[in-house]
């Protein structure tokens, strides 16, 4: 979808729980030392202790508010963009809002958007569609806790994932200096069973399926996912860039989902992209589900690898199986 919608990121924030080194993780779960970095590409990640999705999301949101001297009363909409939730009911955005300072004094809506790892991109597109003279500021929060749903017997997943929260405030850009050029999201249902947590939903409720790490832990068929991505991603991106005036080789920065070491290598090799253009944080954060893309984006803003006016591609894959991209002028 071509939008050319004026939208400007005016503030960012993040929250990271305790750092866990791969060497400590390997000792704890009897994994050969060095296996994590060699196979998953992760040297360290952050895992929660007692922090909840709501707590981390509120901390990231408050950081964004404070960094821009934005009062919570100025927010017109809060979007929780992620796959993690503290409770089945109420929705996660309501929980996050309830833990932001003074948010209880203002009745702006708080909604959830869950497209797993692509949730932030979905929320950004949604925000671009609703921003106007009445809805002036939207707070997007991606707060993810993956560590509670990992099977320690599965080295591939236990070493790959991390916990984190990232938040951005977006506003309608009256000066048209920052804007969404294009967004797209495609779902390929032949990959629907490649990534899942089987238990805990209506199909296999806890009432009839007591906790079993085989069905209540994250499952991923990594090789099958890479094979599917290798087929569909180039078709998707070639179509995505049509009629935009851009090619993937001439955007300023690319912020991919930090899915896996092999996934990032595949993406860069596919288009002969340099490490200067493609921003990576997998080595220090792991795969943080929907928080990965905004967290990586925020890192690049903070260390000035991304500057105002840069054309940026935010792109990734998600469970389902889906591919999504945003092309923005920051």
| Concatenated DSSP letters of 161-188 | B--EEEEEEEE--TT-SSEEEEEEEEE-
* Closest of 193, 200, 201 to residue 219, by C-alpha: 193
Q: Enumerate domains of the chain plus CATH numbers.
A: 2-176 (3.40.47.10), 180-329 (3.40.47.10)
d(CA 36, CA 22): 6
Q: What is the pLDDT of residue 1?
A: 53
pLDDT for 194 beyond 90? no
Of the listed ranges 138-147, 175-184, 304-313, the least confidently predicted one is 175-184
8 A C-beta contact, residue 135 and residue 101: no
Q: Which residues, 6+ apart, have CB-to-CB distance to 158 below 8 Å?
A: 25, 29, 31, 150, 151, 152
- pLDDT category at 238 given cuts 50, 70, 90 is very high
41 dihedral zone (left: phi>0; alpha: psi -120 to 50; beta):
left
pLDDT for position 3: 61
**CA 109 to CA 23: how far, in whole Å?**
43
- Token duo for residue 187: 């779902």
Average pLDDT (123-143) is: 94
Give me the residues paired with residue 233 across strands. Answer: none
How far is Cα 52 from Cα 74, in angstroms, rounded to an integer?
26
Biggest CA-to-CA distance, the chain: 57
pTM of the model: 0.94
CA distances from 198 to 81, 209, 217 (A): 21, 10, 8
Give CA–CA dist 147/291, Å, rounded.
14
For residue range 78-108, list pLDDT tens digits in order. Answer: 999 999 999 999 999 999 999 999 999 999 9
Calpha distance 56→246 (Å, rounded): 37
Confidence category of residue 2, pLDDT binned at 50, 70, 90 = low
Dist. CA 170–CA 118, nearest whole Å? 18
Helices (H), the chain: 22-28, 35, 53-67, 92-98, 119-130, 155-158, 213-216, 222-240, 261-271, 282-285, 292-302
Percent of the chain whose pLDDT exceeds 70: 99
């Amino acid at each position: 979808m071509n939008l050319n919608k004026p939208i400007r990121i005016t503030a960012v924030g993040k929250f990271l729980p305790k750092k866990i080194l791969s060497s400590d993780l390997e000792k704890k779960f009897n994994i050969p030392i060095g296996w994590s970095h060699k196979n998953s590409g992760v040297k360290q990640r952050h895992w929660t202790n007692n922090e909840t999705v709501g707590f981390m999301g509120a901390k990231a949101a408050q950081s964004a508010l404070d960094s821009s001297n934005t009062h919570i009363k100025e927010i017109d909409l809060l979007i929780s963009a992620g796959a993690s939730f503290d409770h089945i009911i109420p929705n996660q955005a309501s929980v996050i809002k309830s833990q932001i300072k003074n948010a209880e004094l203002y009745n702006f809506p708080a909604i959830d958007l869950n497209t797993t790892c692509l949730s932030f991109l979905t929320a950004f597109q949604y925000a671009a569609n609703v921003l106007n003279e009445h809805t002036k500021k939207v707070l997007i929060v991606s707060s993810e806790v993956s560590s509670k749903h990992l099977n320690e017997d599965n080295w591939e997943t236990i070493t790959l994932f991390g916990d984190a929260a990232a938040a951005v405030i977006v506003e309608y850009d009256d000066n048209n200096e920052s804007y969404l050029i294009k967004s797209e999201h495609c779902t390929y249902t032949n990959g629907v069973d490649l990534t899942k947590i089987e238990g805990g939903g209506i199909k296999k409720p806890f009432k009839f399926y007591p906790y079993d790490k085989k069905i209540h832990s994250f499952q991923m068929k990594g090789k099958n996912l890479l094979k599917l991505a290798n087929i569909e991603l180039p078709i998707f991106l070639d179509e995505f860039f049509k009629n935009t005036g851009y090619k993937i080789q001439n955007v300023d920065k690319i912020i991919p989902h930090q899915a896996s070491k092999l996934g990032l290598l595949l993406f860069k090799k596919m288009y002969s992209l340099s490490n200067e253009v493609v921003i990576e944080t997998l080595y220090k954060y792991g795969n943080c589900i929907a928080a990965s893309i905004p967290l990586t984006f925020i890192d690049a803003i903070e260390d000035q690898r991304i500057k105002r006016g840069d054309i940026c591609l935010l792109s990734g894959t998600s469970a389902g199986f889906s591919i999504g991209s945003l092309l923005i002028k920051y």
